[in-house]
Amino acid sequence: MDPVSRDRRSQTGARPSRLEAVERALVYSRAHAGAPVPISRLCRVVGLSERSLRNAFHRVHGTSPKQCLLAERLREARRALSETADRPTTVTDVATRFGFYELGRFAVTYRKVFGERPSDTLRGASRRSQANTHH
């Protein structure tokens, strides 16, 4: 959407489409990846009621905002654990960077989703890095 249309929509009070609302919520959440973002704040950011935002997420992603945002943070944590070759890090560093402060719960959820412990992902990245430096 071009800036003029966006301005016109905000002046007329038109609500964003479901896809626009979900995308704006995801952009906001990514910009604040260091902590879980409350649904009430996302509602204010995108200009929808909680029910409308939940419905939009279900229509676009087939899940609730909370579950969608959790899955995205977990994927980002996995990416960070997998790409640590050039800089030393720990599971704790990565988990807290993405807003997971209950490390035991993070590890359990991570293992359910990805089938391995976060430390296994990190160890695999370290092994790949070492193998690449020896060749």
Quickly state the pLDDT bin for 125 (edges 50, 70, 90).
Answer: low
Model pLDDT, residue 71: 93
How many residues does this entry show for the chain?
135
Q: Are residues 24 and 5 in the same domain?
A: yes
Q: Are residues 85 and 43 in the same domain?
A: no
The residues near 25 (Cβ < 8 Å, ≥ 6 apart) are 42, 45, 46, 53, 57, 65, 69
pTM confidence score = 0.75
Please give the tally of structural domains in the chain. 2
Q: Are residues 43 and 19 in the same domain?
A: yes
Tens digit of each residue's pLDDT (9 = 90 or more) over 58-96: 999 999 999 999 999 999 999 999 986 667 889 999 999
- Assigned domain for 20 exists: yes
Q: Are residues 46 and 86 in the same domain?
A: no
- Assigned domain for 114 exists: yes
Tens digit of each residue's pLDDT (9 = 90 or more) over 8-46: 344 445 567 889 999 999 999 999 988 778 999 999 999
Domain hosting 116: range is 72-135
Q: What is the dihedral of CA 80, 81, 86, 87, to 10 degrees?
A: 90
Q: Are residues 76 and 104 in the same domain?
A: yes
Model pLDDT, residue 123: 86
